[in-house]
Structure formats: structure tokens, C-alpha cells
Chains A and B, each alone.
Chain A
Amino acid sequence: MAEGENEVRWDGLCSRDSTTRETALENIRQTILRKSECLRSVKETPHHPSDGLSNTESSDGLNKLLAHLLMLSKRCPFKDVREKSEFILKSIQELGIRIPRPLGQGPSRFIPEKEILQVGSEDAQMHALFADSFAALGRLDNITLVMVFHPQYLESFLKTQHYLLQMDGPLPLHYRHYIGIMAAARHQCSYLVNLHVNDFLHVGGDPKWLNGLENAPQKLQNLGELNKVLAHRPWLITKEHIEGLLKAEEHSWSLAELVHAVVLLTHYHSLASFTFGCGISPEIHCDGGHTFRPPSVSNYCICDITNGNHSVDEMPVNSAENVSVSDSFFEVEALMEKMRQLQECRDEEEASQEEMASRFEIEKRESMFVFSSDDDEVTPARDVSRHFEDTSYGYKDFSRHGMHVPTFRVQDYCWEDHGYSLVNRLYPDVGQLIDEKFHIAYNLTYNTMAMHKDVDTSMLRRAIWNYIHCMFGIRYDDYDYGEINQLLDRSFKVYIKTVVCTPEKVTKRMYESFWRQFKHSEKVHVNLLLIEARMQAELLYALRAITRYMT
């Protein structure tokens, strides 16, 4: 059969013009009908030996289409497309062909589906965001659906991501997705790897590269080292790393390319943190997101399972309900009380300079030992690990060996003054976009804490932000690190530490055991702070190395 005519074009659906969408859908419908007719006729005449192979092939192809349709019927921001897709699925079912069902409970495994905004019930602003996202990517991914708790941030996030992946930049499109895959694979984030494998192929990437980094061009292989160090121990980046990349004969990177790559790497490292931190489920149309066959374990999903993240059959009992309400209520109250105290007592109790310095060191050192008790070695799934080398290299290595993290002074090199200028110089407009994103993430507040209103949360947010930077050895001269100890309790620290440093180990239990009385949207808010602080920390180290190289 002619593949060309059966090729389905989804891009028409991204149009904002409803007639264009309708025509596109109609085409899809016809193609699918044709395929299924074809399949059926083959089935009805089983004695057709030569067709055995193409039969499974074509049914695979059809299944893919159906899965995509299923995704559209659930996740397309346009109502007409959702309805029509569902209709098509139904009519296919009537032909006696198995259609897929979505698997799992919504976009996040940690957050009950009913808490998350349903597509179709969004307000105008969110709809515009959804439509933008859909127009750019041809899908509405789960990350978007979870982030939409904070539409202001989401807008900036999508704009940045769109610019990084699809707009002008020194790197070719398939490189960008491949770098995204490399970065996500560092944290064994099958979700992101899956998404970008699709995108990578869609923009014409060579499927061979997906077999492992050693099949990619030398230039990308060279980036592997930076990826590794950046993901786990960014403080070790030196100008020699940069020099090695920039001066590698014909495989060398240009400065602009390197900055683009660094921004992509940091973006995807932190996005991997978000994915695990919020327990993002596989996309409906990707493997593991839907089922007409038994749930696939083969393709990129193994690490989820080994993590205990794959909680398809999780009991619906929210563990928060197990804890006595008064207990967790007390938690919030205590936190607020501490904040009040700190606010008032600040001037009275004057810590000495040495005291301040040692508080930072203590916090930094302690942060290394904050880890969940189940520190089992998780061997990454083969399929993901093939995108990077040296799987044993991780953040925890250094904590075990008690390596010294040198202190990085923000007052000497900060994002606002230095990092921004460098990025904007080498990769115009991106500095601006990232700067906005940092700002929104850092300043985002609804002045609420759990059930309390009109709370100034700036102190808490600053403590979280600075705690993350502290873990990376970044010190603010004007911050009293004693505050962190007061405001962040152990289970919260464990969660932060795990999300930022070893996101693949985040479990639902961790997510539930911190801030039990807080809303899910607030926990997502925390995650936004975590990923942006992490991204900034990595960027600062990488950019400082580039600056040092340049001077």
C-alpha cells in the first residue's frame, strides 16, 4: 500500500481556524477508516501468507493513530476537535477494532485528577495558554496541565520553551531535541525522553542517534561531559571544560551554540526535576499513557516502575487523611509562628559574623546528608541510560566522600548583573525570557498558606530558594542561613533535596509527607521554585566558567 497517501498530517489541527481543523480532521478520519477497512479485509482472509508482516505493521500504525486520536479527544483545547475525535474513535470501535483507553489517573500520579483543571473548563486566559501551547507543539502535555495551577508562570515557561526549541537559535532543531533527551536522560526521566524522541524524529533527526550517545556526532558526544557535570556537580565546571568544547577542531562549538546548549541542558535538568517532583504521568499517546494491550513495560518506563512511581493501582486513600487533622494543622500554625518570630526578632538577636559564616557551612554540609533513608542503588533502565555515559556519576557521590564544595558568592557573580548580560549577548532575547521566568517564579505569591490568607510568604520563598542554592554551594552574603533551619522541616528538606539532586528517586510518599495540610497548587508552586532555583544555580556555574574563559 502507498504509505504516502496514508500518512496522517496532524498539523492542520493546530490551526486556530475551525474550518481548517475540520478539514484536517476529516482527512484523518478518512485515512483511519481506510486503514481499518484494509486491516479488516486482511483479517477476514487469514490465509494470506505474504501479508503477515505488513499486517502487524499496519495495525501498529493504526494503533498509533488511534492513540493520538485518544489524546486529542481528551487533551485538545478545541472543543470541536475533542468531540470529533471521540466520534471517530467510536465509529472505529463499531467496526470491531479495539480502541485504546487512557491509563492512570490524569496528568499527575501525585495529584488526584479531580484537583487538576479539566480541559474544557478553563477560563479565557488559560484557554489562550492552552491554545498557544497546542499550536506550538500539537499537544497539550501533562506538564502544562499541572503547571496551569499557576498560569502566570506557565505563560512565561511556555514562551521560553517555545523560543528555545522552535525559534531562532544557533542550533539546528534536531540538535535541540537531542540535547533535551541527553539532559532528561541524565535523570532517567523517561517522560521527557519519550516526548523528545518523538519530536526529534518529527524534525528529521536520525533515528540511529537514539541508540546511544556514541552514535551521535562527535560534537554532541563532547557535550556529554558538560551535561554530566552540570546535572550533578555544577561547581566542578571550569573554564577548561568550556575550552575543550570550543576548541575541538572540526567538532568545536561556537560560543553562541554553547550558550544555547547550556540553556537547554539546564532547562531540561530542572524540567526533569519538575516531572518527578510532581509525578507527571506518561502522555496519553505515548507508551504507558494508554492501553489497548497490557500496559507496556518495555519502552522507557522501567525506571518509573523501579521507583515505585508507577502507581497505577495505588489505593485512592490520600495519606494526608491518615494523619490526624489537628496534627497537620499544627504544622502550618507552627510554621507561621516561626515566620512571625523571625520577622520580629531579627534585629534583636544579632549573630556574629563567624556565626553567620558557619551557619552557611553547616547548612551546606547538612544538605549533603539529607537523604531519604532508602538510598538504594537504582540501576537506570537500559533504554534511557543509553543516552548518556557513566551512570554512576551523581550528586550523592560527593556527599559520601565528603568532598568540599567551594563557596560561590552571589555578590560576585549573579544572574541579574552578569549571567543575563552574557546570555543575552550570545543568544539574544533568551536572557530576557529566562530573566522574566526567574522573576515570576521568585516573586509568585497568592499571599496564602494552606487555609490562611494574607500571609507574606516572601521569607519562606526566599528560604527555599536559598536552601537550593546552598546545596550547590552558592552563598548570599546578606542571608542568615539559620532561617532555613527554622522554616524548613526535615521531611520538606528531604523532598527538596531529592527533587533537586536526584529527582528520579522521588516517591509519592515523599510528596505527601511534607506540608501535609497545604494545597496541591502550593506544592506545585514549591516545585516551580525548586526548578527555577536549580536552573539558575546550574546556569550561574556554567556562565561563570564561560565568562572566565572569555576574559
Chain B
Amino acid sequence: MEKMSRVTTALGGSVLTGRTMHCHLDAPANAISVCRDAAQVVVAGRSIFKIYAIEEEQFVEKLNLRVGRKPSLNLSCADVVWHQMDENLLATAATNGVVVTWNLGRPARNKQDQLFTEHKRTVNKVCFHPTEAHVLLSGSQDGFMKCFDLRRKDSVSTFSGQSESVRDVQFSIRDYFTFASTFENGNVQLWDIRRPDRCERMFTAHNGPVFCCDWHPEDRGWLATGGRDKMVKVWDMTTHRAKEMHCVQTIASVARVKWRPECRHHLATCSMMVDHNIYVWDVRRPFVPAAMFEEHRDVTTGIAWRHPHDPSFLLSGSKDSSLCQHLFRDASQPVERANPEGLCYGLFGDLAFAAKESLVAAESGRKPYTGDRRHPIFFKRKLDPAEPFAGLASSALSVFETEPGGGGMRWFVDTAERYALAGRPLAELCDHNAKVARELGRNQVAQTWTMLRIIYCSPGLVPTANLNHSVGKGGSCGLPLMNSFNLKDMAPGLGSETRLDRSKGDARSDTVLLDSSATLITNEDNEETEGSDVPADYLLGDVEGEEDELYLLDPEHAHPEEPECVLPQEAFPLRHEIVDTPPGPEHLQDKADSPHVSGSEADVASLAPVDSSFSLLSVSHALYDSRLPPDFFSVLVRDMLHFYAEQGDVQMAVSVLIILGERVRKDIDEQTQEHWYTSYIDLLQRFRLWNVSNEVVKLSTSRAVSCLNQASTTLHVNCSHCKRPMSSRGWVCDRWGSGVGRWGRGLQAAQEPLLRRPPSCPPPGATAAPACVPSATTWSRVCSCGARAAATAATCSTS
């Protein structure tokens, strides 16, 4: 193995071997450090201080340094470090502020060597000079750093950070006199060991405490820092001003950071809270860790590479009282699990997706998208062969466009805006929505609303005695009847709605193939669904016997002739459509000139003659008159909702769900509901129908959905005169003083995309503000083409 051979050379003959293993400690560890022979590790914690030998198959306890009967706070270690020059020399930092050195060469059982009690507060970190045998540095909560010469009893020099507590101190590996210190207030300082009066350089590296830092073992002047702000930053200190080279965003505050030996861009991190894993990052790929070790059950408190020239062995100690050796080859690689696929709709119906190149290439006829004149912003990323996961995670981008000027989703917007979802009695809502749908030419949807009204707004309840009877009688017929009705009527409605998709597909077929696996629905698909799902003849035949009787029961049948019914629940407009065959095909022909649609029309035609006097609607109407409980239809309604959702009209599904509320909710499982809601909300937000989407969120009963409303949307307002942010709560600029009206003309409202949210958080949703940007992903889109773009782009980048 190449790796092994390198290890051999580096170690001058002795090969490091071992496996992933762990051992149980008696108490939580706070820090670990490795001996320079790479065969021993020391573990220190509040009530543990032991040396373990690292053997082939296991850790073996070698020495317990915690001796003496009375537990002393001097032994309660916050940090431990093993001298890299002297195998016998150790130093610990105690929580009570004492710095202790240990000499393993002492013959006595107690190896404690020296005690420095100069710090007033907890010592957070100790560090030996990399080449000097007697120089020890400490950093304490009291804000001071002290340099000790182990040959003397007191500190040689004291460095005052002039800011808050010191969290970490590290000698530079390359520059003999330099050390770096990090502070609780976010500062990093660079010191010359010979000049205790003032620091050489100071800069603010993080927002909040900087918990750790590490010098790059090879690149002079590279310093990695990790902070509570969940970032790891790599600084180049060789330039005049410290320059941020890389920034890795993790998901929890960074407790330790250690460069990986022999891998120039790799570093390992562990976290202070919540996240127990150890990650190895390639700083050039800051989004996905290169490797991940998941052995620990509580936070990892100390990490150390076993040998300064071996990149494959990592040791770690944890609060879960265990010591682990991780082998790099056993690490899980998140990149393998990552989906290099992405799919996204554009605002105007464009569809872009990225997939593994191999996957795309394998399919015949599909070429990777290489950018075109209309979208010069898309470029294929030039691959750097030196970069990691080059082979693993490269993907190709494909873009499907709608026909320009198709403007196809107008109906969706109109419907969304005009539907009434709450605030009125059910019957009125249904009527209103039916009217809206009809006006938009969506007859089938309109009919569905009408049906719902009929089903759920029946006067009075069913006497229980009657219940069994009617169920028994209607159970077999009512349900499939509705089914068949729905599906049959689907044809004209869908024809108009899917026409766009078809033309889309046709228009683009020269450049990109649109196949049926894409989410876009083509008419062919519809055709299939209908064909397979509708055993209509059979069902219709089934009911025939009862039809007359039911028909007669219909009290409203007294006015059958009215052509444009005032009451939408009247069955006749619909009956006309079905019974009179001629208008149907014409209607369809108007809307979609596709040969496949005429296929469905043929279906209609063939169904119609089955019973010419037979009215589907009157049957269901009659069922209501026989006082069936609304519950009876819930299965039917559920199927109807599923049907709409399947067809891609999630709008209908959600609207009905909201309006019917408790009546149907229990019949549909939570997850499906949530899925519908989120899909619909996503769609609404893409069309920037913030108000509607907010209303839907508010009306939804699904917990996951309604909490969308509670997530943050930050609104930044800048003064139109001086461009300064208006920080105070009012709408007044500090400098200009004059009050500006709410949402005044001069205001440039900008929304922060909330990119700083950890990935585990729910996506931020719209709140009640008049204009909200719902999520980070949508944001870029709004940003690049929205009206507010100019003002916001600036805020985006700065905030």
C-alpha cells in the first residue's frame, strides 16, 4: 500500500499498525495527548489521569498518575500535553488554576514534579515549546498567559491579553519565538516570546469565543482557528494583515482543531456540544466533511493524530468515558452518501437538475447541459484534479425550459389568489371556489367543489337506525360511482392543464429529451392512469338497478331545464356534458389538439350510451337525500384528494383539506397531509404568493407545517439617504432622524437569507410581514431576478 510505505519511511523503519478500537475509561476525559513514540497516550479529566499504551489490538493501562488518598483539585485537569522532545515530561492545566508538570522518570509512585500556582483562574491550556526542552506556556481564564522555564520556580514572563479569558495558546512550529493565543471575545493574538509588553498582532477571528487554534505543520504562517460560532477558519499570517484563506462551517461550536499530518488541506475537528462526531475536513471543500468518525456517544473532548507523520491514525477522548483509536480507512465518508443530484424549478417553469455525470452519460440521447445563450450564468465547474472527491461528486447540470411566452401557470396563481379557504360557512366556501374554478375554465375542479358542497352540507343528521341500512345499500355503489364520475370528468379539465407540459416537451425535444420520469406530466401519462384506473362500465352497470328509485327521491329535480343553474349543486350542467356526446369532444378538441386526448374522448363516448337516462350526479344527489352521513363519503373524498395530488394539482388537495378540516383529516395519514402542504406552500412561495402561503400555513393543522410560521425571517432596513442600516426597532434613521412611514417609498427593504441556520433546522417560513423571503434556496432566485435585487444583494453579501 502506498500509504503504508510512506508511513514506513516517515517513521524510519517502524511501521505503525493497529485497528479501530476503543477502551472504557473510568471517567470522562477532558483532553488527551500522545507521546512522541506514538505508542502511548495520556488521558486527563476531572477525575482521571492515566497513561495508556497503544498496542496492536487494544489499549493497555500503563500508569495511573492520580495517586494519593485525597483527591486534589490540582489533579482535576482541563488540559494535558506531552512534551514532543522528552518522553518523560508532561504538563497539566488544572481547573483551579494550577499548572503541574510531571516527570515520568521519577522513581517514586508520585510523578508530580513542579507546581505553578500563579494563575488566579482556571488554566485552559498548556503548551510545550516544540523544540526547547524547558519552556512551557499556559493560558488562563484570568486573561494572562505565562511562560515558565521548568528549571525555575516561577514564571519567566507574563503576557496580558488585555482582553478576556485565554482559551488556547500554541507555539508556532516554524517560528521559534512566535506563539498564538485565542480569546473568549473572539480575538486572536500573535506574540513574540521575548516581548511580553505587547502583542505583535491582534485581529478578531470569530464572533464569540475562539476555543482552539492549530498551526499548520508544514505551511509556515497558516493558523486554523475554531470558535463557538461553528466556524473553522484558516488564516495566512505571513501577509501584512491576517488573511482568511478558508472557512469551514460546521454544525456545532468547534472545541478542537488539529491539522492532519501529511495532508496539506485536511484538518480534524470535534465539537463542544450536541454533536459527538469527529470530522476531517478538506478546507477547500467546506460543505461536506471528507471523513467522519461516529464512535462516541457523548461529546468528544480531545483529539490527537497518533504520529506527526502518519495521516491514518487518530486518537480521541470523550465525555462518554472512552478512548478511541480511529483508522482513517474505517471512517465513514459523507460524500459517498451525499446525493450529487439536485432538482429545481425556475420561477417560470424551467426545470434544472444536476446528476452524476456517469448517470447522465449512461442514458442515451441526453447530453449534459453546457450552457446556452439564454443562461450564461451556468457554467460547468472546472475540475481541479488535485481536489478531493473529484471522481465521487461531480455532476452534470441539465436545464429544461418552457416555451417562452407560455405563461402556463397563470391559472395556478389566479386560483390561489381567489380561493377562499376560511371564514365562511362551508357551503359558501365551496360555492365560491367552484365559481372561481369555473371562471378560470377549470370545469372539473368546479364540479368537484360542487360535489363537496352537496356531500358535506346536507341538512340534518342521519338517524342511526337509518344508517346501517343506507350504508349497506349504498356501500357497494356509491363509492365506485363517485370514483368513476371523477375520473371521467377529468379528461376535459386535464386537457387544458397539461397542454402546457406537452408543448413544453415538444418545444424542447430538439435540444433536450424530456422523458416521462421527469416530474412534468404529459398527456400520455394521464391517459394511462385513466385507462387503467377506470373500470367504468362495470361500475356503472352495478348501480343501474337502484337508479330510478333514487332519481325520484330527488326533490330538486323539479327544475331540470334551467340551463345555467344558480345552485351549483344542481347536477345538470354536468349531466349535459356526459350524456350529450357531441359537445364533449369538441370541447376537448378546443383545448388540446392531441391525438391522445381524443383517445380519452372516445372513452367518454363509449361510456355514455351505457345508460342514456342515467345521471351520475343525480345518483349521488339522491344518496344525500337518503341521509347518508357525510362520513360515508370520506373514503371517496380521500381518494379524490389523492387523485388530485397524484395529478400534480396539489393546490386542490390542500384547499379541500383545509376547507373540510376535521371531516376528512382523520382519513388521510399525517405524512401525506404534510407532504401536500409543504408542496403547495413551496409552489406558492415560488410564485411569491406570500400572503396566500402564509394563510395556508396558518390554516394547516399539521404541526410541522404550522411551525414554519414561527421560524425567523429577518428584515433589514436601510435608510434611503445614507444607506445605513436602521438598527433601532422603529423606522427611523439614526442620522436623518425624520420618521419614515411604514413601508415608505424611500425604504429599501432587504431580507437576510438566513444562511447561517444549521442544516438541521427547519427551513424558515414566511411570517406575517407583507413581503417575506421564505427560504435560502428561494432567495437566490428572488435575488437574481426580483425587483428588490439591487438593494438586497448588497445586504446579502455583507450580512
Residues of A within 8 A of B (CB): 15-17, 128, 131-132, 135-136, 162, 168-171, 254, 346-347, 350, 353-354, 356-357, 409, 411-412, 416-418, 420-422, 425, 428-429, 432, 435, 476-478, 547, 550-551
Contact = CB atoms under 8 A, between A and B. Distances in A.
B391 to A, nearest CB: 35
Interface string B90-132: 0000111100000000000000000001011110000000000
A551 B276 contact: yes
Contacts of B208: 420, 432, 435
A399 B261 CA distance: 56
A529 B296 CA distance: 38
Contact of A412 (B46, B73, B184, B732): B46
Interface string B706-730: 0100111100000000000000111
Contact of B120 (A353, A409, A478): A478
A354 B74 CA distance: 11
B729 A162 contact: yes
25 contacts: A17-B741, A132-B728, A170-B707, A171-B710, A353-B70, A354-B70, A411-B76, A411-B122, A412-B46, A416-B209, A416-B228, A417-B209, A417-B253, A418-B273, A421-B252, A421-B253, A429-B712, A432-B208, A435-B208, A477-B94, A478-B97, A478-B119, A478-B141, A550-B274, A551-B297
Contact of B274 (A357, A412, A421): A421
B781 interface: no
A551 B211 CA distance: 22
A420 B208 CA distance: 10
Given A428-B757, A477-B122, A17 B297 contact: no
Contact of B272 (A353, A417, A435): A417
Nearest to B251: A425
Nearest to A254: B707
Contacts of B730: 16, 131-132, 135
Contacts, number: 101
Contacts of B273: 417-418, 421-422, 425, 547
Nearest to B140: A478
B728 A128 contact: yes
B73 A357 contact: yes
A168 B120 CA distance: 41
A425 B758 contact: yes
Contacts of B120: 346, 478
A131, A136, A254, A412 interface centre (most CB from chain B within 10 Å): A412
Contacts of A425: 252, 273-274, 758
B792 interface: no
Contacts of B121: 478
Contact of A477 (B76, B276, B711, B729): B76
Contacts of A254: 707
B317 to A, nearest CB: 15
B78 interface: yes
A22 B41 CA distance: 75
A346 B119 CA distance: 11
A478 B757 contact: no
A135 B739 CA distance: 13
Contacts of A162: 729
A171 B709 CA distance: 11
A428 B754 CA distance: 11
A347 B97 CA distance: 13
Interface string B417-455: 000000000000000000000000000000000000000
Contact of B228 (A169, A409, A421): A421
A51 to B, nearest CB: 36
Given A128-B728, A425-B252, A551-B276, A411 B46 contact: yes
A168 B710 contact: yes
B377 to A, nearest CB: 31
A425 B122 CA distance: 27
A360 to B, nearest CB: 10
Nearest to A353: B72
Given A421-B272, A422-B274, A551-B297, A478 B72 contact: no
Contacts of B498: none
Given A347-B117, A356-B73, A478-B95, 5 more contacts: A17-B741, A132-B729, A416-B209, A417-B209, A477-B122
B298 interface: yes
Contact of B729 (A135, A411, A547): A135
B708 to A, nearest CB: 11
Contact of A16 (B732, B758, B761): B732
Contacts of B95: 409, 411, 477-478
B272 A418 contact: yes
Contacts of A132: 728-730
Contacts of B28: 412
B73 A353 contact: yes
Contacts of A17: 739, 741
Q: What 5 A-B pairs have minimum CB-CB distances, sorted nearest first? A: A477-B95, A421-B273, A17-B739, A411-B95, A353-B72
Interface in B273-315: 273-274, 276, 297-299
B754 to A, nearest CB: 9
B228 A420 contact: yes
B767 interface: yes
Nearest to B121: A478
Contact of A168 (B255, B741, B758, B767): B767
A377 B46 CA distance: 42
Contacts of A551: 276, 297-299
Contacts of A420: 208, 228
Contacts of B276: 551
B426 to A, nearest CB: 25
Contacts of A435: 208
Contacts of B46: 409, 411-412
Interface in B397-425: none
Nearest to A411: B95
Contacts of B74: 353
Contacts of A409: 46, 95
A425 B758 CA distance: 8
A324 B28 CA distance: 57
Contacts of B73: 353, 356-357, 477
Contacts of A136: 729
Nearest to A162: B729
Nearest to B70: A354
B677 to A, nearest CB: 18
Contacts of A353: 70, 72-74
Nearest to B732: A16
A105 to B, nearest CB: 32
Nearest to B741: A17
Contact of A411 (B78, B298, B757): B78
A135 B710 CA distance: 23
A171 B707 CA distance: 9
A409 to B, nearest CB: 7
Contacts of B741: 17
A421 B273 CA distance: 7
A478 B96 contact: yes
B712 A168 contact: yes
A428 B209 CA distance: 17
A131 B731 CA distance: 13
Nearest to A159: B729
B739 A16 contact: yes
Interface in B721-770: 728-732, 739, 741, 757-758, 761, 767
A550 B252 CA distance: 14
